[in-house]
Amino acid sequence: MGTWNSRGLRGSTLEEMVNWTNDHYLEKGLALIQKIPTPITPVRMDADHKQITLAYFEKRSTVDYIGAVQGIPVCFDAKECVADTFPLHNIHEHQITFMTQFEHQDGIAFILIYYSERNELYYMRFEEMIRFWNRACDGGRKSIRYEELDPRFFMKPKNGYYIPYLDFINLDLELREEA
């Protein structure tokens, strides 16, 4: 089992932006997307601050978010990356399995990658993710270079906190129809 301890706010910037975006989409009646909490078992508590300082993951989580966008099932994970190279070990095999099964049920699975140094977000289509994953499984490169990504799927946060991922789901759907 993996462990969790308070190592700062890793990933919290992206998560806050996604959560705000999800609230915005819900208020506008465009989507219902929920954060999936990772179940943990607390081991050590800081009594003074009433915070968990050490815990064990009870089980592997699937993806960070799941819901529906105007009747279409959607699931996605949100990842942060400082460098221009995204290590594939940040995506876990059980997540690939879940997303593959989700896609087989006519859902849309994707990953949002936040390149924090560039302040850019990337919508990685499931098809693209699987191509990179299979390349690594076949003995190829174990990471994704920024230059390898499809320029059509880069976005900048709007107003510094809003992530327009619905626009990219639409583009994803258009490309699926063309195929």
Provide the residue type at 134 as one letter: N
User: Nearest 5°: phi and psi at 68?
Assistant: -140, 140
Residue 145 contacts by C-beta under 8 Å, 6 or more apart in sequence? 84, 85
8 A C-beta contact, residue 143 and residue 107 = no
User: Nearest 5°: phi and psi at 164?
Assistant: -80, 55
- How many Å apart are CA 115 and CA 73, to the nearest integer? 26
Three-state SS for 39?
coil
CA 104 to each of CA 38, 51, 99, 100: distance values in angstroms, whole numbers, following the listed order: 24, 40, 9, 6
Residues making up the binding site for Mg(2+): 62, 64, 77, 95
87: left (phi over 0), alpha (psi -120 to 50) or beta: beta
Residues making up the binding site: 62, 64, 77, 95
